[in-house]
Structure 1
Amino acid sequence: MPVPAEMALADRWMRWRRITRGDGTTKQPITVDGLPASSTDPSTWSPLVVAESSNAGDGLGFALGNGIACIDLDHCYDSRGYLTDWAKMIIAPVEGRTYIEISPSGEGLHIWGVTGERTGIKVRNDLGMNIEAYSQGRYITYTGHKFRDSPLKLANLTFLFDVIPRLA
């Protein structure tokens, strides 16, 4: 599976399992052995090669931190399957410069990059924006399904982490 070098070298990998919680589903982090994992407990993480060789759960996950961050755009396609205007605006500054992938649902994007550790961001607004951005203390699923011609490198996301809270 293609992975940016900065992430491939980080021993911050885990697996995830889809579980039902209330009226919906969530993606629970698990170890390569299928036990509960934590985005803040390095003893539950593994090198990429170990996580890739595991059959536990439904896919790969990555514990954010140590400079690696991710912006999660949920439900960012319109009824015709085109990116919404708000999603185009978010990816415009980094498209072609950082790794962007299609999320497990196929209805969202993960923008991977680097930035300093900061508080997580959640934006939901009347324009339909559904954005989360994290750089520490969280894990994000990893699909390896590249968005367009996404390069296998990580760009600086600091600008987007500064702009996104203003969209609320």
Structure 2
Amino acid sequence: MAMADRWLRWRLVHGGESASKRPIRFDGAPASSTDPATWTGLSTAEQSTAGDGLGFALGGGFACIDLDHCYDARGYLADWAKMLLAPVAGRTWIEISPSGQGLHIWGRCQERKGIKVRGLMDAEAYSQGRYMTYTGHAWRDSPVKLADLTFIFDVIERLAVYDCPS
């Protein structure tokens, strides 16, 4: 399996008052973000009608930073999101998330522990053991290439120390 054969599908699952995006295989069977046997190539995943969309298993140098609810009440990008985007905007693939209220910053990073910050900002950064939904809806004029995200991971990790509980 080639390095980029890390594609899968996802299905929106409602449980109580929340919903989650569960990874599934192209044939609709359960998938895992850590089991390469459940992943496939992009063309197979794109041709599948299973579930609600495409996903990508992170790791092997591939990373993603998820900025949730990063727009203010006027629809402008929040200052914390501008700060995280500034070092890589125009240098890496950034897409609009499935909700339309967030952004995914795709890039490269060595595998490291995932980071989640809530309160100060609404950001998560992963480079292993997780999958990320993929929309293909470019944010602004994002290039189809992947930049090194190590610096942004470091910034988010430092800010997580100051995070306020929600």
What range is the shorter-chain TM-score in?
over 0.9
User: Between the two proteins, what is the percent identity of the paired residues?
Assistant: 72
1:21 Cα offset (Å) = 2.1
Q: How far did 1:22 drift?
A: 2.6
Deviations 1:46-79 (A, max 9, x none): 0000000000000000000110000000000011
Contact 2:107 2:146 in 1 (8 A): yes
- Superposed structure 1 runs of 4+ greater than 2 Å apart: none
Distance in 2 (CA, whole Å) between partners of 1:113 and 1:97 is: 9
Give the secondary structure class of the aligned counterpart of 1:167: helix
1:147 is the counterpart of 2:134:
no
Q: Which runs of 5+ in 2 are unaligned?
A: 161-166
* Deviation of the 1:9 alpha carbon: 6.4
Q: Distance in 1 between matches of 2:77 and 2:141?
A: 15
SS in 1 for 2:63: strand
Q: Does 1:133 align with 2:125?
A: yes
Query: Any conservation in 1 of the 2:3–2:60 contact (CA below 8 Å)?
Result: no
Partner SS for 2:45: helix
What's the RMSD between the two structures over aligned residues? 1.1
Structure 1, unmatched stretches of 5+, are 1-7
Residue 99 (structure 1) aligns with: 93
- 8 Å contact 2:7–2:55 — kept in the other structure? yes
Distance in 2 (alpha carbons) for counterparts of 1:83 and 1:163: 18
Count of matched residue pairs? 159
Choose the corresponding residue for 2:117, options 115, 120, 123: 123
